[in-house]
Chains A and B, each alone.
Chain A
């Protein structure tokens, strides 16, 4: 005896709706995505445009402009003892860091997804091999290993990128393997097997598309780590060599001058690194929440 024509007004108040779990989750992920994008954007956009912006030469300085503080005329962030504009050095140095970072995560993502999928789907000795390699990799002290490789093969962009990629592949690999293990048990995979699809086809066409969003978010989050690693290497002198600017290098060079008051050489590149890392992490976090919710809805 439903009285269908009397549409009852909702008893949900605006306050309840705004404080509901669903609304809060949506809000939090939106906030994270925006704040993260802005923080990262403040750093990334100028860095990407470094080539076209009217910046002084980052490598050749004007000696008479030595150690100028920030907000000096013509030098927004000041200069270093060699008279080189700090803003220019930060932006050009950022290009090196970002290139290395992006290349490294692309590489580690690829290796990780392939290794993780094979380990998760085939199981058996493939899984044993990949899992042990993964664990061995993760148990190595990261920075020391990087230093060793750079000492052996020289601090070029290629070597540094490769080394960071190799250091980072376990994380996407582990996640991929876990996700593949779950997807493998689902009936749609069995259906593909019943159709006669070969295993590589099943992995490529059915499993990976369904796990890719989650894995991509984790790979993105690795960018922060990659940039930090590159900066650490540069700081220790094992990164791309002078006079090319790198964030870690600028900080390292400015270390001793910090105590005599030339604070900007250490602080400002540090702020750039911090903004990028925090931005990437927040953005990645927010994206992960979104991806998870989309997956739950399907």
Chain B
């Protein structure tokens, strides 16, 4: 099977008021069907620019792209011809901030339906709407028929991101590009979204290009990672290898800078969680029946169940 994405020596130069900035300086990678490839980097590394360049979302009067890249077999650098066929069909984008990605004066249902019809022009409005409801169920949005009539500002960040994921998978794409999909969300909501993405991958085998600064997210979601710094990849490989045995000093420094939490006692787990070899030695092991003294047990809602 041919790769979903091939990138060969991609260079992106930005013509800004302050001069020409080479945001991406010759990166190469590929994504095979069903794989999740992650580009990890800090701010200014060029990771988002790489993704935006692949999707040709950078205006031509700002960015000059050279090198070669194909998505779903179509050239995306040399020509803009195939973009219409790719965007929203073979490739879907899940952006960072769900609130600004949606039209505030249109209901989420209308926007989702519109996205579906664009990907499947053969469907009439009613059929598209039915598919929209079904997709919302797939992303675990409760009471989808009712939610269709909501406006973006009425929904939480997590709910909106699920909507965007629904729109993304509605086209049955070969590739999902997720640009920091959970950075704008609370950490408990993030867990739900990432689990959803994993579940969808299980079901459909879609390939994913994930952009993130969070090594924990990368570890969870990726098959292979590329560590990016100042426009180039400094290290790459299978995620367990890069995270477990980083070779490049930048990767090592990055991993060392992450504050370790270490293992903890989760009564819902069968056994304590394993740690990777390089983590700092865990604190004293607490007995399983420890009851913390002086903790305030305010009324809390139940675990699980509710969707954030």
Task: Find out whether A and B make contact in their complex, taking CB atoms under 8 A apart as touching.
Answer: yes
A: residues with CB less than 8 A from B are 1-2, 8, 10-13, 16-17, 19-26, 293, 297
- By a CB distance below 8 angstroms, the chain B residues around A297 are 17-18
B64, B230, B234, most chain A CB atoms within 10 A: B64
In the complex where A17-B20, A297-B17 touch, is A1 in contact with B62 (Cβ < 8 A)?
A: no
Q: A17-B15, A24-B61 are in contact. Are A11 and B66 (CB under 8 A)?
A: yes
CB of A19 within 8 A of CB of B61, answer: yes
A12→B25 contact, CB < 8 A: no
A13 to B15, CA, bound (A): 11
Q: What residues of chain A lie closer than 8 Å to B20, measured between beta carbons?
A: 10, 12, 17
Q: Which residues of B contact A24 (CB under 8 A)?
A: 61
Question: Shortest Cβ distance from A235 into chain B, in angstroms?
Answer: 44
Give the shortest distance, in Å, between A46 (CB) and chain B (any CB).
Answer: 36
B12-24, CB under 8 A of A: which get 1 and which 0?
A: 0101111010100
User: Do A12 and B15 touch across chains, with their CB atoms under 8 A apart?
Assistant: yes
Beyond A12-B15, A17-B15, A21-B59, 10 extra complex contacts between A and B, CB < 8 Å: A1-B233, A2-B233, A8-B26, A10-B22, A13-B64, A20-B61, A21-B61, A22-B17, A24-B61, A25-B17
A294 closest partner in B (C-beta): B17
Partner of A23, one of B11, B15, B66: B15
Task: Contact check, A21 vs B62: say whether CB atoms are below 8 A apart.
Answer: yes
Interface residues of B in 87-114 (CB under 8 A from A): none
**In the bound complex, CA of A293 to CA of B18 (Å):** 11
Task: Report the bound CA distance from A13 to B64 in whole Å.
Answer: 9
Residues of A within 8 A of B17 (CB): 22, 25-26, 293, 297
Q: How far is the CB of B18 from chain A (nearest CB, A)?
A: 8
Whether A2 pairs with B234 at a CB distance below 8 angstroms is: yes
B232 at the interface (CB under 8 A from A): yes
Residue of B nearest to A25 (CB): B17
A16, A17, A20: residue with the most chain B Cβ atoms closer than 10 Å: A20
Nearest CB of chain A from residue B136's CB, rounded to whole Å: 35
Which residue of chain A is the closest to B67 with respect to CB atoms? Answer: A11
CB-CB nearest in chain A for B26: A8
**Shortest beta-carbon contacts, A-B, top 9:** A20-B15, A11-B66, A21-B61, A2-B232, A22-B17, A12-B64, A20-B61, A12-B13, A22-B16
21 A/B residue pairs, CB under 8 Å, sorted by A: A2-B25, A2-B232, A2-B234, A8-B25, A8-B26, A10-B20, A10-B22, A11-B13, A12-B15, A17-B15, A19-B61, A20-B15, A20-B61, A20-B62, A21-B59, A21-B61, A22-B17, A24-B61, A25-B17, A293-B17, A297-B18
Query: Which residues of B are interface residues toward A (Cβ below 8 A)?
Result: 11, 13, 15-18, 20, 22, 25-26, 59, 61-62, 64, 66, 229-230, 232-235, 248
Q: A161 CA to B235 CA in the complex, in Å?
A: 70
Query: B234 contacts A1, CB within 8 Å?
Result: yes
Q: Which residues of A contact B234 (CB under 8 A)?
A: 1-2
When chains A and B are docked, how far (Å) is the Cα of A130 from the Cα of B122? 58
Least CB distance from B61 to A in Å reads 4
What residue of chain A has the Cβ atom nearest to residue B17's Cβ? A22
Cβ contact within 8 Å between A8 and B11: yes
Residues of A near B18 (CB, < 8 A) are 297
The CA of A10 and the CA of B248, in the complex, are separated in Å by 27
A18 to chain B, nearest CB (A): 9
Q: How far is the CB of A227 from chain B (nearest CB, A)?
A: 33
Closest to B236 in A: A1
In the complex, what distance in Å separates the CA atom of A17 from the CA atom of B20? 9
B residues less than 8 Å from A25 (CB atoms): 17
Alpha-carbon gap, A22 to B16, bound state (A): 5
In the assembled complex, the Cα of A293 lies from the Cα of B16 at a distance in Å of 11
> A22 to B18, alpha carbons, bound, how many Å?
9
CB distance from B52 to the nearest CB of A (A): 15
Expressed in whole angstroms, the minimum distance between the Cβ of A22 and any Cβ of chain B is 4
A288 to chain B, nearest CB (A): 16
What is the bound-complex CA distance between A111 and B62, given in angstroms?
Answer: 42
Which residues of chain A are within 8 angstroms of B11 by Cβ–Cβ distance?
8, 11
Q: Which residues of B contact A8 (CB under 8 A)?
A: 11, 25-26
B15 touches A22 (CB 8 A): yes
Q: A10 and B62: CB pair below 8 A?
A: no
Contact present for B62 and A22 (CB under 8 Å):
yes
A26 contacts across to B, CB distance below 8 A: 17
- The chain A residue sitting closest to B59, CB to CB, is A21
**B26 proximity list for chain A (CB < 8 A):** 8
Minimum CB–CB distance for B29 against chain A, Å:
13
Centre residue among B20, B230, B233, B248 by max chain A CB count within 10 A: B20
User: Are the C-beta atoms of A11 and B25 separated by less than 8 Å?
Assistant: no
B61 / chain A contacts, CB cutoff of 8 Å = 19-21, 24
B66 touches A16 (CB 8 A): no
Identify the closest chain A residue to B231 (Cβ): A2
A19 to chain B: closest CB distance in Å?
A: 6
